Amino acid sequence: MERKIRVLIAKPGLDGHDRGAKVVARALRDAGMEVIYTGLRQTPPMIAEAALQEDVDVVGLSILSGAHMALVPRVLEEMRRRGLDDVALFVGGIIPPDDVAPLKEMGVREVFGPGTNTHDVVTFIRQAVDEPTA
Amino acid sequence: MNQRRNLDGARLAQEARQGNRRALARLLSLVENGAPAGLIALSELFPYTGQAHIIGITGSPGAGKSSLLNRLAHAFRQSGTRVAIVAVDPTSPFSGGALLGDRLRMRTLINDDGIFIRSMASRGHPGGIARATHDAVMLLDAVGYPVILVETVGAGQAQVDVARVAHTVVLVEAPGMGDDIQALKAGLMEIADIIVVNKADRPDARQTMRMLQSVRHGGPSGHHGPGGDAPAPPADADAWEVPILLTSALEERGIAELQAAILAHRQYLSASGQWAARLAQHARAEVELWLRRHFEALQTAHLPPERWESAVDAVAARQAAPAAVAQNLLEELLASICHRRRGEC
Ligand SMILES: Nc1nc2c(ncn2[C@@H]2O[C@H](COP(=O)(O)OP(=O)(O)OP(=O)(O)O)[C@@H](O)[C@H]2O)c(=O)[nH]1
Ligand SMILES: [Mg+2]
């Protein structure tokens, strides 16, 4: 049987709505991916543990609260602690342009701002799965 | 594709047995994808299976299966039992993708080392579980989870495959199902060992419970007699009386009673000899499934797609009957196998 791309979509932090995350989750499903959706207010250990148990190829974080510079390193650290260095992480939400470069330096593979076309997310994920980081 | 997928099944099996959760997670993907490494791991691990109590949770969409499973897993954890969960959601027939949302209701379980949760897409399998659910359960059994909970897709009457995997089937329904009862009694109620009316915090729960009781006992809408004229059959003293329980996953009520009923059913299975009978049933289902899979693999390997097309076209044009065409395909298949084995057949 063919293998499917598996993606975890998670919302860390305290911001209270997940419309954007759900739109992305549905778009990825419609592109033929298996999307594990874990809902609001996930802690970094919860996200990393779910990524491990579900053996996902890619993790997407949706962050609207402005806390991305604090949350993202903690998620990355929890993922590394579990040996998930080869799982690509992308971040979506309200991210000021100045924060993009520092986030990528931390290990984030891609950042998607508001108004991103979901096709771009699909394309990014397909590429990330085909060309894992060295 | 991804290089990390090219893994050694036997080594992963060993690591998973030693408690490596990442190795277990990868093996689950490998068996789900039908990868050769997954098959190797399955045969390595098979001798360690047969220990777990496998509990199926089925019922209508939105009845509260995941929420209840979350509570139930907590209850098992309270008594120190490690729990694995396989939660199946439907694959979209249009895109082949799936939105796996059962984990949403299980968030309180995530920070616990004694719990392993895996979401699984049905990938077109019609019976309420995925084709690889059997294999996933076997892996979890082999690495030492003594209790495995399997949540089916929101199920209708025909989705009864969970009975081929589980020792104990819990049917979860919610108040206000009305006409669904008619459909239920045809399939799901016959495989249920325990029936639960969840959302007991709602006022109409008792009425649903009474309706289910009348169906179970062959009452007015029961399956033991048309129009309810026939009396309920006499109860066999040794038979399992399917309990109907009220729970509220929301208010955490009735959970201890449900857990007790599950444990009582486990006891009943052992004491009555039914445990062995179910194992034999499961074994039969497993072998049949694998025989079909092997046969499909042979079809793919030995019958080129053009041959299929021409056969189908001949039937569509009414030049040949389907049974005769299939017979010819079978002969060709056998000849092709024989040829490839240099006549040793
Ligand atoms: N009032 C009430 N609502 C409940 C209860 N249990 C679950 N729910 C709600 O019912 C809805 C469905 O719950 P789930 O646990 O996702 O149901 P499910 O059967 O797993 O659903 P599917 O997997 O989609 O078939 C959610 O909104 C829950 O919050 C309960 O005991 N009482
Ligand atoms: Mg569910």
Task: Give the least confident one: B120-124, B152-156, B275-279.
Answer: B152-156
> Which long-range CB contacts under 8 A does A67-75 form with residues at least 24 apart?
A67/A13, A67/A14, A68/A93, A68/A95, A68/A99, A68/A103, A69/A99, A69/A102, A69/A103, A71/A12, A71/A13, A71/A44, A72/A103, A72/A106, A72/A108, A73/A106, A74/A44, A75/A12, A75/A44, A75/A47, A75/A48
**Which residue's CA is the closest to the ligand 1 atom numbered 28?**
B64
Rounded distance from Cα B160 to ligand 2 centre (Å): 16
Average pLDDT over residues B9-30: 96
Indicate yes or no: CB of A29 within 8 angstroms of CB of B104: no
Residue A70 in this model has a pLDDT that exceeds 60 = yes
Question: Residue A87 is part of a domain; what is its CATH number?
Answer: 3.40.50.280
- pLDDT over 90 percentage in chain A: 75
The answer to whether residue A51 sits within a structural domain is: yes
Is residue A28, in this structure, part of any structural domain at all?
Answer: yes
pLDDT at site B142: 97
Q: B33 vs A3: CB contact, 8 Å cut-off? A: yes
Q: Give this prediction's pTM.
A: 0.89
For ligand 1, atom 2, which residue shows the shortest CA distance? B199
Whether residue B220 is predicted with pLDDT greater than 60 in this model: the reply is no
CB pairs under 8 A between A and B: 99
pLDDT at B315: 95
Average pLDDT over residues A6-13: 93
Identify from A43, A47, A54, A122 which residue to disrupt to test chain B contact, counting B C-beta atoms within 10 A and taking the largest count. A54
pLDDT at B143 over 90: yes
What mean pLDDT is predicted for residues A23-28?
Answer: 95
**Domain span at A23:** 6-130
Average pLDDT, chain B: 87
From the CB of B155, is ligand 1 less than 6 Å away? no
Residue B119 has pLDDT above 80, yes or no: yes
pLDDT at A84: 96
The pLDDT score that the predictor gives to residue A26 is 96
CATH code linked to domain B49-272:
3.40.50.300
Please report the pLDDT score of residue B68 as a whole number: 97
> B220 or B180, which is more confident?
B180
Question: Which whole number is the average pLDDT over B336-342?
Answer: 86
Any ligand 1 atom below 6 A from CB of B61: yes
Residue nearest (by alpha carbon) to ligand 1 atom 12: B62
Q: What is the pLDDT of residues B82-106, one digit of tens each?
A: 999 999 999 999 999 999 999 988 8
User: Is the minimum CB–CB distance between A37 and chain B shorter than 8 Å?
Assistant: yes
* Residues of B with Cβ-Cβ distance to A60 under 8 angstroms: none
Q: Where residue A15 falls among pLDDT bands split at 50, 70, 90?
A: confident
Name residues whose C-beta falls within 8 Å of residue B227's C-beta, 6 or more positions apart in sequence: B220
- Residue A1 falls inside a structural domain: no
In a domain, A29, yes or no: yes
For residue B236, what pLDDT band results from cuts at 50, 70 and 90?
low
B306-315: per-residue pLDDT in tens? 998 999 999 9
Q: How much is the average pLDDT of B3-29? A: 87
Residue A73, domain member (yes or no): yes
* Per-state percent for chain A, helix, strand, coil, to nearest 5: 45, 20, 35
Q: Compare A40 and B24 and report the one with higher pLDDT.
A: B24
A57 interaction partners in chain B (CB closer than 8 Å): 2
Q: Is B249 in the pocket of ligand 1 (CB under 6 A)?
A: yes
The rounded distance, in Å, linking the Cα atoms of A69 and A48 is 17
Q: Which of A38-42, A112-116, B193-197, B278-282 has the highest mean pLDDT?
A: B193-197
Check if B60 has its Cβ closer than 6 Å to any atom of ligand 1: no
Q: Across the interface, do B25 and A54 touch by the CB < 8 Å criterion?
A: yes
pLDDT (0 to 100) of residue B218: 58
Residues in contact with B301: Cβ distance below 8 Å, sequence separation at least 6, in sequence order: none
Could you tell me the end-to-end alpha-carbon distance of chain B, in angstroms, rounded to an integer? 37
Domain boundaries, chain B: 1-47, 49-272, 288-340
B166 pLDDT higher than 90: yes
For ligand 1, whether the C-beta of B66 sits within 6 Å is yes
Question: Which stretch, A93-97, B123-127, B166-170, has highest mean pLDDT?
Answer: B166-170
Name the domain count of chain A.
Answer: 1
Element (H, E) at A27: helix A19-30
Q: What is the pLDDT of residues B254-276, one digit of tens each?
A: 999 999 999 999 999 999 999 99
Do B1 and A129 make contact, defined as CB atoms within 8 angstroms?
yes
Residue B101 alpha carbon to ligand 2 centre in Å: 7
Ligand 1 neighbour B176 (Cβ under 6 A): no
Question: B25: Cβ–Cβ under 8 A, 6 or more apart, which residues?
Answer: A52, A53, A54, A55, B118
- Is residue A107 one of the residues assigned to a domain? yes
In a domain, A71, yes or no: yes
Q: Report whether pLDDT(B186) > 90.
A: no
